[in-house]
Chain A
Amino acid sequence: MIFVTDYMILAVLLFSIGIVGVVSRRNIIVLYMSIELMLNAINLIFVALSRQYEQLDTQVAALMIIAIAAAEAALFLAVMVLLFRNRRSLDANVFNLLRQKEATSND
């Protein structure tokens, strides 16, 4: 018998894998995939709860997320193309323009 908590545990696992992916991987495409993974973990929770309480409201939310994620994917891929054209690289560590500049000594 599969309980709703099992779906929850799976979703938490997927979400954690997504976070670890975002934090630890340097390839921007993998980053993006990790983000998608986290989104889908949330979707899984929505759907599992919808089933548990037999209500369709949350499924609507899940469908909304899928739709937005699709749009986001289009935008993200376009951004990635631009990033690659700029730096010839998709390493996330290369894009660190907003870092603190090297400190200059004042005494």
Chain B
Amino acid sequence: MTNSSLLAFIVLLPFASSLFLGILYLLFQNKIKELTYSIFGIGSVLTSSILTLYIATDFFQNENLNHLSYVAYEWLHIENFIINVGFFADKLSIVMISFITVIGTLIHIYAAGYMHKDEGFGKFFAFFNLFMGSMLLLVLGDNPIMLFIGWEGVGLCSYLLISYYHKDAQNVKAGNKAFILNRIGDFGFLIGMLLLFLYAGTNGFSYGALEANIASVSPTVLTSIALLLFVGAMGKSAQIPLYVWLPDAMAGPTPVSALIHAATMVTAGVYMVARFAFIYNLTPEVGIFIAYIGAFSALLAALIAAHQDDIKKILAYSTMSQLGYMFVAAGLGLYSGAIFHVFTHAFFKALLFMGAGVLIVAMHHKQNIFELRMHRSLLPITFVTMLIATLAISGVPPFAGFFSKDAIMAQAFASGQYGIWLITTFTALLTAYYMFRLFFTVFFGNRNIHLHEIKQSMQLPLIILAVGAAFAGFLNIPHFLGGDIQFSHWIAIADRAEHLSVTTEWILTLVNVTLGAVGILFAWKNFAYNPMPSDQSVINVVFMRKFYVDELYELLFVKNIRRLSYLFSTLIDVKLISEFIRAASAGYYKLGILTGQVQNGNVRFYALYMTLGVIGMSIYLLEFVK
């Protein structure tokens, strides 16, 4: 039996190391070696992942072990309302923290190479560890409050890391954008949480207590709770309409994109929906809404991605697209499928970003795929590993993405949501197209150019991740392929899985694979030999400018809010509030001067006051006291 206090250590180690690195950096900056920073930065996360795997093996070996919980101390206690600082791990959390810590460790190692000779090396690792700590807290907290602290923590870290190159105002703006849009989502999330507390929090606020109470909540309230919580997920997981921050977030260093905007933080929304499966199972109509949001996000992102030239932007939109798939699954009740896609996606998307990082460093910080074009023999490891990742995301069997994505589309078909099924299937075609557009454009050139040196620490993680991207899918082989969806059984969330006949499943799969192949062929035809950026026809420009959504938001919200702020700063603040406070202080001052006149130092006047006092008292005694 595992000691459940290990859970606390998993969360605490990155936090402690972040604090330590922060102090170290403030004291010494670049005067100590990068190696010192790396040892602590990577070491803490590595230890966390070892602890995680240790706990995970316990869950594997012991069938009866369903959850571990550890209460560190009582944080709040107001009558019946108790909030513990406690950690809780069931199989869902174990899956999440397993890939978070393992992939996190790999990205840390990679970052040590990528950030080599950066002046803020120590600061970067302090932020990185803080992020890991927050993410682990989000997953391991035993009540929604703890989840929310982690939720805000990752939001903060994403702000810090996106605007890491803060000397460029554009990057700071991107960081602000991410933070503010996340805050909008968090606002909904917070209200949802309060409602949850008001209506279901009578017996405590841990997940278990909430689940036990949820049946007593009226359906209308439950629907609003489910919707409001999902608003938070929209912000964090970059879904329509709060997705605009994700592409801009690529302003951060590439390891940041790999860690935060691909593998971990953006999946927090999916995790949250799966965690609150007991709510979403009672509100299937909200689920349908979520699924549609997911499907449209997937389609929109894929359409935009197919017309971008910046390698990181393409990957950012593909992340958003894949997140859409996850929400389709979560909305339609296939939570295990959603988590499984999160799991496989973490491997191949981290790999893609890290591969892109290698390309960017090798080509002296160019990001346009047409400028990155080179001969594949120049970077053989990157070529092979990125090929595996691209095949995986395109849903080519037997790579990881095939199994996870196929299951989602089958669920959409089986639930009778043919609209969603059509959209996701079409998006799958687009995915294969735009990913191979990137791949062929970059690797099928003939140029032999001098490359910047690539450190070993940047290559090794690619290989490990490639193994995951290739084989992770075998954990959840569906029935019609002779498997037993072990992953879905093991993780044991209350799925609403629908079943299809074997023939239908085969047909759907064949359709998907064929469409994927069509997409790849189409990309091969257009981009393998003589790639050209999209021409400037009207429709392409609309795609390239991301449907002008940024401009629309600017017009609708940003400008109006700016006007309002201007009004407040020039009129209300200066004229009203400042004047009021100034008048109040001047009034007291004048009153003081006035009463001060009495104190004139003349003993005769004091005698007069005394006499007046005595007269006053005498009158009082004579007239009013009977």
- List the interface of chain A (C-beta within 8 A of B): 19, 22-26, 31, 92-93, 95-100, 103, 106-107
A23 touching B604, Cβ below 8 Å: yes
B359 nearest CB across to chain A (Å): 63
Q: Does B608 sit at the interface, judged by CB under 8 A?
A: yes
* CB-CB contacts below 8 Å: B596-616 with A: 596-597, 599-605, 607-608, 611
B601 touching A96, Cβ below 8 Å: yes
B594 nearest CB across to chain A (Å): 10
A–B Cβ pairs within 8 angstroms, 16 of them: A19-B607, A19-B611, A23-B611, A24-B604, A26-B604, A31-B604, A92-B602, A92-B603, A93-B604, A95-B601, A99-B600, A100-B597, A100-B599, A103-B596, A107-B582, A107-B586
A35 nearest CB across to chain B (Å): 9
Q: Please, how many angstroms separate the alpha-carbon atoms of A95 and B601 in the complex?
A: 7
Q: Does B589 sit at the interface, judged by CB under 8 A?
A: yes
The 9 nearest A-B residue pairs measured at CB:
A99-B601, A96-B601, A100-B596, A100-B599, A98-B601, A23-B608, A22-B607, A99-B600, A103-B593
Which residue of chain B has its CB nearest to the CB of A93? B602
B602 touching A106, Cβ below 8 Å: no
B585 nearest CB across to chain A (Å): 8
A96 touching B602, Cβ below 8 Å: yes
> What DSSP secondary structure best describes chain A's contact surface?
loop
A19-B611, A103-B593 given; A98·B599 CB < 8 A: yes
B599 touching A22, Cβ below 8 Å: no
Determine the chain B residues whose CB is within 8 A of the CB of A106 once the complex forms. Answer: 589
Which residue of chain A has its CB nearest to the CB of B609? A23
A32 nearest CB across to chain B (Å): 12
Determine the chain B residues whose CB is within 8 A of the CB of A93 once the complex forms. Answer: 602, 604
Which residue of chain B has its CB nearest to the CB of A24? B604
Which residue of chain A has its CB nearest to the CB of B600? A99
A19-B611, A23-B607, A100-B596 given; A107·B601 CB < 8 A: no
Determine the chain A residues whose CB is within 8 A of the CB of B597 once the complex forms. Answer: 100
Determine the chain B residues whose CB is within 8 A of the CB of A98 once the complex forms. Answer: 599, 601
Q: Please, how many angstroms separate the alpha-carbon atoms of A39 and B592 in the complex?
A: 37
B600 touching A96, Cβ below 8 Å: yes
Q: Please, how many angstroms separate the alpha-carbon atoms of A100 and B603 in the complex?
A: 13
Determine the chain B residues whose CB is within 8 A of the CB of A92 once the complex forms. Answer: 602-604
Q: Please, how many angstroms separate the alpha-carbon atoms of A97 and B592 in the complex?
A: 19
- List the interface of chain B (C-beta within 8 A of A): 582, 585-586, 589, 592-593, 596-597, 599-605, 607-608, 611
A34 nearest CB across to chain B (Å): 9
Which residue of chain B has its CB nearest to the CB of A98? B601
Determine the chain B residues whose CB is within 8 A of the CB of A100 once the complex forms. Answer: 596-597, 599-601
Q: Please, how many angstroms separate the alpha-carbon atoms of A98 and B600 in the complex?
A: 7
Q: Which of B585, B593, B602 has the most CB of A within 10 A?
A: B602
Q: Which of A92, A95, A100 has the most CB of B within 10 A?
A: A100
Q: Which of B582, B585, B600 has the most CB of A within 10 A?
A: B600
Q: Please, how many angstroms separate the alpha-carbon atoms of A17 and B593 in the complex?
A: 33
Given A92-B603, A100-B597, A107-B589, 10 new contacts (CB under 8 A): A22-B604, A22-B607, A23-B605, A23-B607, A23-B608, A26-B604, A96-B601, A99-B601, A100-B596, A106-B589
Determine the chain A residues whose CB is within 8 A of the CB of B593 once the complex forms. Answer: 103
Q: Please, how many angstroms separate the alpha-carbon atoms of A23 and B582 in the complex?
A: 40
A41 nearest CB across to chain B (Å): 14
Determine the chain A residues whose CB is within 8 A of the CB of B582 once the complex forms. Answer: 107
Determine the chain B residues whose CB is within 8 A of the CB of A25 once the complex forms. Answer: 604
A105 nearest CB across to chain B (Å): 9
Which residue of chain B has its CB nearest to the CB of A106? B589
A36 nearest CB across to chain B (Å): 14
Determine the chain A residues whose CB is within 8 A of the CB of B611 once the complex forms. Answer: 19, 23
Determine the chain B residues whose CB is within 8 A of the CB of A99 once the complex forms. Answer: 599-602
Determine the chain A residues whose CB is within 8 A of the CB of B607 once the complex forms. Answer: 19, 22-23
Determine the chain B residues whose CB is within 8 A of the CB of A19 once the complex forms. Answer: 607, 611
Determine the chain A residues whose CB is within 8 A of the CB of B599 once the complex forms. Answer: 98-100
A17 nearest CB across to chain B (Å): 13
B612 nearest CB across to chain A (Å): 10
A39 nearest CB across to chain B (Å): 14
Q: Please, how many angstroms separate the alpha-carbon atoms of A27 and B601 in the complex?
A: 16
Determine the chain B residues whose CB is within 8 A of the CB of A95 once the complex forms. Answer: 601, 603
Determine the chain B residues whose CB is within 8 A of the CB of A31 once the complex forms. Answer: 603-604
Q: Please, how many angstroms separate the alpha-carbon atoms of A96 and B602 in the complex?
A: 5
Determine the chain A residues whose CB is within 8 A of the CB of B592 once the complex forms. Answer: 103
A79 nearest CB across to chain B (Å): 12
Q: Please, how many angstroms separate the alpha-carbon atoms of A23 and B607 in the complex?
A: 6
Q: Please, how many angstroms separate the alpha-carbon atoms of A77 and B585 in the complex?
A: 48
Determine the chain B residues whose CB is within 8 A of the CB of A23 once the complex forms. Answer: 604-605, 607-608, 611
Which residue of chain A has its CB nearest to the CB of B607? A22
Which residue of chain A has its CB nearest to the CB of B596? A100
B480 nearest CB across to chain A (Å): 83
Which residue of chain B has its CB nearest to the CB of A26? B604
Q: Please, how many angstroms separate the alpha-carbon atoms of A25 and B597 in the complex?
A: 20
A22-B607, A23-B607 given; A97·B601 CB < 8 A: yes
Q: Please, how many angstroms separate the alpha-carbon atoms of A22 and B614 in the complex?
A: 15
A89 nearest CB across to chain B (Å): 14
Q: Please, how many angstroms separate the alpha-carbon atoms of A107 and B607 in the complex?
A: 35
Q: Which of A23, A24, A26, A106 has the most CB of B within 10 A?
A: A23
Q: Please, how many angstroms separate the alpha-carbon atoms of A31 and B608 in the complex?
A: 13
Determine the chain A residues whose CB is within 8 A of the CB of B603 once the complex forms. Answer: 31, 92, 95
A26 nearest CB across to chain B (Å): 7
Determine the chain A residues whose CB is within 8 A of the CB of B602 once the complex forms. Answer: 92-93, 96, 99
Q: Please, how many angstroms separate the alpha-carbon atoms of A26 and B600 in the complex?
A: 15
Determine the chain B residues whose CB is within 8 A of the CB of A24 once the complex forms. Answer: 604
Q: Please, how many angstroms separate the alpha-carbon atoms of A25 and B611 in the complex?
A: 15
Which residue of chain B has its CB nearest to the CB of A28? B603
A71 nearest CB across to chain B (Å): 21
